[in-house]
Amino acid sequence: EAGVVQSPRYKIIEKKQPVAFWCNPISGHNTLYWYLQNLGQGPELLIRYENEEAVDDSQLPKDRFSAERLKGVDSTLKIQPAELGDSAVYLCASSQRDWANEQFFGPGTRLTVL
Amino acid sequence: GNSVTQMEGPVTLSEEAFLTINCTYTATGYPSLFWYVQYPGEGLQLLLKATKADDKGSNKGFEATYRKETTSFHLEKGSVQVSDSAVYFCALTGGGNKLTFGTGTQLKVEL
């Protein structure tokens, strides 16, 4: 069974440029998560989807971040415009719908903003 | 709100040494507790979990016991190997399957 797929694995951009990250969850997983992981820190939840609905986006900085999960499968996280402080690893995870089910993580996208 | 506190790293051990990584938590209600591991260049993987007080999670020789009275979930392994070198994250879920992570503890195992 394929795991969570993320692309690109690495991205280097200049500040004020837009950037997008893509995630394909494990087949059959209804719940999808985007996390932000700063260097030396644990991941922090940005947004959680149940199918195509964003059910928890309280930690998403909506002035520059947006996300979508069309058709309840793949998801895209976008930053526009990027700032120096956005340099981090962006992790995608998925799980089955039941509460407290294991979350499976992708390898992440490492973003560097110059 | 929920929070997790882990011992700071890096922790450096010789192969076959005993490992303990401390983890304490603050949460309302009855959270589930987890240890995740992140090997270099890879994504986070669930190592073990415990869903109620006094439960012991175990996997690959690692163990952790859910201690409600001390709000702790310390990770232990009797004999570490070089291949255990990684970053270990303690985490908990409250409502809605939202994971709250600690800051991670880097483990380095040397020959």
Q: DSSP string covering B13-64, please? A: EETT--EEE-EEEE-SS--EEEEEEE-TTS-EEEEEEE-STT-EEEETTEEE
What is the separation, in whole angstroms, between the first and last Cα of chain B?
41
Q: How many CB atoms lie within 10 A of CB A64?
A: 14
* pLDDT averages per 10-residue partition of chain A, 114 residues: 90 97 94 93 93 90 94 94 96 79 90 97
Does any CB of chain A come closer than 8 Å to the CB of residue B91? yes
pLDDT tens-digit readout, B55-87? 999 999 999 999 999 999 999 999 999 999 999
The answer to whether the Cα torsion of A30, A36, A41, A45 is positive or negative is negative
Q: How many CB atoms lie within 10 A of CB A19?
A: 19
* pLDDT at res. B96: 63
Interface of A with B in 46-105 (CB under 8 A): 48, 55-56, 91, 93, 95, 99-105
Phi, psi angle pair for B8, to nearest 5°: -80, 150
* pLDDT at res. A16: 96
* pLDDT at res. B43: 85
Phi, psi angle pair for A85, to nearest 5°: -70, -5
Q: How many CB atoms lie within 10 A of CB A61?
A: 12
- A-chain residue closest to B43, CA distance: A107
* pLDDT at res. B67: 96
Q: How confident is the model at residue B103 (pLDDT cuts 50, 70, 90)?
A: very high
- Best A9, A50, A103, A109 residue to mutate vs chain B (most B CBs within 10 Å): A103
What is the separation, in whole angstroms, between the first and last Cα of chain A?
37
Q: A48–B96: do the CB atoms touch at under 8 Å?
A: yes
- B-chain residue closest to A59, CA distance: B98
Cis-peptide into A81, omega within 30 deg: yes
* pLDDT at res. A7: 96
- B-chain residue closest to A101, CA distance: B97
Q: B104–A3: do the CB atoms touch at under 8 Å?
A: no
Q: Which of A32-41, B36-45, B90-99 has the lowest mean pLDDT?
A: B90-99
